Amino acid sequence: MATASEPPHDTGWFEERLGLASIRAFLAHKMVPVHAGTMWYYFGGITLFLFVIQVLTGSLLLLYYRPSPSEAYESVQFIMTRVQFGWLIRSIHSWSANLMILAAFIHMFSVVFLRAFRRPRELTWLSGIALLGLALAFGFSGYLLPWNKVSYFATKVGTDMAAAMPAVGHQLARYLRGGNDVGGATLTRFFGFHVAVLPGITTLLLLVHLVLVQKHGMSSPPAVTEEYSRKGMSMPQMPFFPNFFLRELMAWYAALAVLGVLAAIFPWELGAKADPFAPAPAGIRPEWYFLAPFYTLKLIPSHIWLFEGELVGLLGFGLLVLFWVALPFWAVNRQGMERTRWVTGAGVLLLAYLTTFSALGYWR
Amino acid sequence: MRYALLAMIFAAPLAAEADDTCVACHSGLEGNLQAPAKAFANDIHARFGFSCADCHGGDRNATDPQESMSKARGFVGKIPRTAVPERCARCHSDAALMQKSKPRQRVDQMAQYRTSVHGKRLAGGDTKVATCIDCHSVHDIREVKDPLSPVHPLRIPETCARCHADAAHMAGYKIPTDQFAGYRKSVHWNALAQRGDLSAPSCASCHGNHGAAPPEVASVAAVCGTCHVMMEELYNKSPHQPVFAAMGAAGCVVCHGNHEIREPGPQMLAGPNAVCSQCHEATSVGGIAAAEMGRQITSLEKALDRSDAILSSAQQSGMEVSEALLRQREARENLVKAAVAVHAFQTAAVHKPVAEGLAIAAETYKAGTSALQEKRFRRLGLSVSLIAIALTMLGLWLAIRTIEGRTRKPSELAGR
């Protein structure tokens, strides 16, 4: 005979402890707008999926990786040649890192062009931009870890750029390198950033981002909403679960297939071990996502009026980033009207700049 | 006041230049009288503050040409060729003076020059032979490390060839003029000019520079041995050394030649172009030993080439074979050791490095084969995975269709 404290017969053990019914109810009511741009909604989920792959493969790599100049390269070589499927894990880790950053950029531009950053989603935008910055920091710190020639000199170039920043540049470069030059201390620091500091911050920020997305729901492009309003209709929608979720799952499988093809046919190269005393190899350049600013800095003359060219370039990039981060705030004028053309123009210009200069930086 | 300041600013450099009146005046002249003054701007001596007057005499500060080029001021004008070495040696043999500008530079060039064929002939009155200025140039003398200097390591062969490859100039000396042509076909030229290896031997490496003279027959092995240390050591202990010495044959040159030293290899030991066959019958003990050494080295070369090919194929497929490639370098070192061991002229000496090299080559070939097998396995695994992913996606699509078939389609939700 049941007492008053016992659960009702129709609820299970987990239900009693987790309250799954409320989650089911939330999912049943969560809707996703359906319109011509719905496919762009999948890129946020793809970015998340690739991040999870990063965490899983990264954890496996940690079993064998050793973060010291004398062992880092050899340990990665060991992973690639001796560990069962080690080559696959490392290749997937490297390729998914690149695909994740690509997916994050696509997600960001889709948010801009679909106007998803508008009130009340300013904090979602800011947390998303911060997550993109963290993804780039992951890329920069992880690039050095194999301790090969290309990564060593690319880190040298990258930290040199940091050193050119006004006022704090020298201290920042010293902090990043753990000394005056790239060396063992840099490797240890970058390893610490890559596996502890950045994942911790990213997880917290990711939670904030996801909670905000859930709170505000999926944004509908204003133009589409207005069109339906004019017709006296409401925006078509689909249930998040299972309709959208299953579609998202298909997108994840597609991403997994792309990842598998890249990792199996183009396994990530290890290259030659870093030699700090060797001259920098010709045509040294950073990863593709840093190519646009890198190439721009190369084009800037050494001196512009009274200032160093590199300093002017870095200040320019700083202002550009600030301008982009503040997008939700300048996209609406004082009367509360959206500056649609300005936003689209800025998005197109930035996209054109990034693609053109990245291509130029790669080919020239 | 403002004009006075401007005048002071612009007058300062003019005043500094006007210190050397030789350059100032000759720069304004034409042709041969102007050329030295123009060229001197690039001269290493100008950089250290020396003037025309330091070699030609005269007074660099006097503004009147009669005065600056007067005999009373020590002006000697054009220096006779026979006096050039002594003139250069006034400074270059002065250790105290050289210490001030170039403390690490030697000061025995003149002493060496006197021992050279050039120096001896010049002392005998032959003014056609090379003096300092023929090799180092004149008025635009540059440091040896300057690539534009005629005595920069990359340019020495051409500088020597200016005289030694000129049949008209060399007529009367009764020495051949084909050294440069031969040298340009040699491994040494290849290393120097093609690979840009500044340590590769050129004329001066074997003949000396200031003390240039042909090495004597007995010292050829010692000259080659300055770089090829192991070969010289083995050769000196070999049965060939006393025989060649008794014959008056010039050691290394007997097999390798002198200026036209071609790529050595097993073809020198066995086959139609074998140098050994010049003295040894094919059926003699020496002939058989040479053929055996050639066979062993050839077998190692072929094994290494086979491993290189398979490793290269694996690497191009994206396979990680760096460890095997490193081992392959060790095997190539064994090939070099075998080639060195030939100079002992004992088959047993060659056999050891060849056997070690063959063992490594077998290992690297196996690594290459495994890498290609692994590549095939990966492709197969990828295909299976892609099929599994495609089937899963198909299943998901069917599930979506079923769900949306049961309920209203998303588009039907419009206008609720």
**Percent of chain B surpassing pLDDT 90:** 67
Per-residue pLDDT band at B12 (split at 50, 70, 90): very low
Long-range contacts of B91-100 (CB under 8 A, 24+ apart): B91/B54
Parallel, antiparallel, or unpaired for β A31-33 and A237-239? antiparallel
Q: Between B2 and B48, name the one with better pLDDT.
A: B48
User: What's the confidence (pLDDT) of residue A14?
Assistant: 84
* Extents of the domains making up chain A: 20-282, 285-364
Mean pLDDT, range B302-317, rounded to an integer: 94
| Residue type, position B363, single letter | E
CA distance A289 to A362: 11
In a domain, residue B9? The reply is no
Q: Is B254 exposed, middle or buried (0-12, 13-18, 19+ CB in 10 A)?
A: middle
User: What's the confidence (pLDDT) of residue A11?
Assistant: 67
How many angstroms away from the CA of B368 is the closest CA of chain A? 12
User: What's the confidence (pLDDT) of residue A307?
Assistant: 85
Residue of B nearest to A245 (CA): B400
> Domain range spanning residue B355?
285-413
**Residues linked to residue A31 through DSSP beta bridges, in sequence order:** A239
For B333-346, what is each residue's pLDDT tens digit?
Answer: 999 999 999 999 99
Give the three-state DSSP class for B37.
helix
CB contact under 8 Å between B396 and A270, yes or no, is no
Which element (helix H / strand E) includes B397? Answer: helix B347-406
If one counts the domains in chain B, the total is 1
Residue of A nearest to B404 (CA): A243
Q: Mean pLDDT of successive 10-residue segments in chain A (364 residues)?
A: 49 82 83 93 97 97 96 94 92 97 97 93 97 97 95 92 86 94 95 97 97 92 92 91 94 97 92 89 86 92 85 91 95 83 94 96 87
User: What's the confidence (pLDDT) of residue B409?
Assistant: 53
CB contact under 8 Å between A234 and B415, yes or no, is yes
Mean pLDDT, range B143-162, rounded to an integer: 94
List, in sequence order, the alpha helices (H) in B18-146: 21-26, 35-39, 44-47, 53-56, 65-68, 84-92, 95-101, 109-115, 117-123, 132-136
User: What's the confidence (pLDDT) of residue B414?
Assistant: 44
Mean pLDDT, range B109-120, rounded to an integer: 94
User: What's the confidence (pLDDT) of residue A332?
Assistant: 86
Query: What are the tokens at B317?
Result: 């497929």
In a domain, residue B46? The reply is no
For A319-343, what is each residue's pLDDT tens digit?
Answer: 999 999 999 999 988 777 888 899 9
Three-state SS annotation for chain A:
CCCCCCCCCCCCHHHHHHCHHHHHHHHHHCEEECCCCHHHHHHHHHHHHHHHHHHHHHHHHHCCCCCCCCCHHHHHHHHHHCCCCHHHHHHHHHHHHHHHHHHHHHHHHHHHHCCCCCCCCHHHHHHHHHHHHHHHHHHHHHHHCCCEHHHHHHHHHHHHHHHCCCCCHHHHHHHHHCCCCCCHHHHHHHHHHHHHHHHHHHHHHHHHHHHHHHHHCCCCCHHHHHHHHHCCCCCCEEEHHHHHHHHHHHHHHHHHHHHHHHHHHCCCCCCCECCCCCCCCCCCCCCHHHHHHHHHHHHCCCEECCEEHHHHHHHHHHHHHHHHHCHHHHCECCCCCECHHHHHHHHHHHHHHHHHHHHHHHHC
Show which residues on chain A lie within 8 Å of chain B, measured between beta carbons: 34, 77, 80-81, 87-88, 228, 232-238, 242-243, 246-247, 249-250, 253-254, 256-257, 260-261, 264-267, 269-270
Query: What are the tokens at A252?
Result: 């994840």
Q: Residue holding tokens 């679909």?
A: A114
Per-residue pLDDT band at B251 (split at 50, 70, 90): confident
Q: Which of B165, B252, B244 is nearest to B201 (CA)?
A: B252
For B202-242, what is each residue's pLDDT tens digit?
Answer: 999 999 899 888 877 677 778 899 899 999 999 999 999 99
CATH (domain of B358): 1.20.140
CB pairs < 8 Å spanning A and B = 76
In a domain, residue B333? The reply is yes
Q: Which of B8, B39, B138 is nearest to B84 (CA)?
A: B138
CA atoms within a 13 Å half-sphere pointing along the CA-CB vector of A234: 10
Cβ-Cβ contacts under 8 Å, A243 against chain B: 400, 403-404, 410
How many angstroms away from the CA of A263 is the closest CA of chain B? 9
In a domain, residue B34? The reply is no
Q: Which of B374, B328, B361, B330 is nearest to A82 (CA)?
A: B374
CB contact under 8 Å between B410 and A269, yes or no, is no
Max Cα distance, chain A (Å)? 90
In Å, what is the CA distance from A350 to each residue of A40, A139, A292, A314?
18, 21, 11, 16
CA distance B296 to B308: 18
User: What's the confidence (pLDDT) of residue A6?
Assistant: 53
ipTM score of the complex? 0.86
In Å, what is the CA distance from A184 to each residue of A160, A162, B190?
17, 19, 40
Non-local (6+) Cβ contacts of B71 within 8 A are none
Three-state SS annotation for B330-378:
HHHHHHHHHHHHHHHCCHHHHHHHHHHHHHHHHHHHHHHHHHHHHHHHH
Residues of chain B numbered 323-342 and touching chain A (CB < 8 Å): 323
Mean pLDDT, range B139-167, rounded to an integer: 94
Q: Which of B135, B201, B184 is nearest to B163 (CA)?
A: B135
In a domain, residue B374? The reply is yes
User: What's the confidence (pLDDT) of residue A279?
Assistant: 85
State the CATH architecture for A20-282. Answer: Up-down Bundle (1.20)
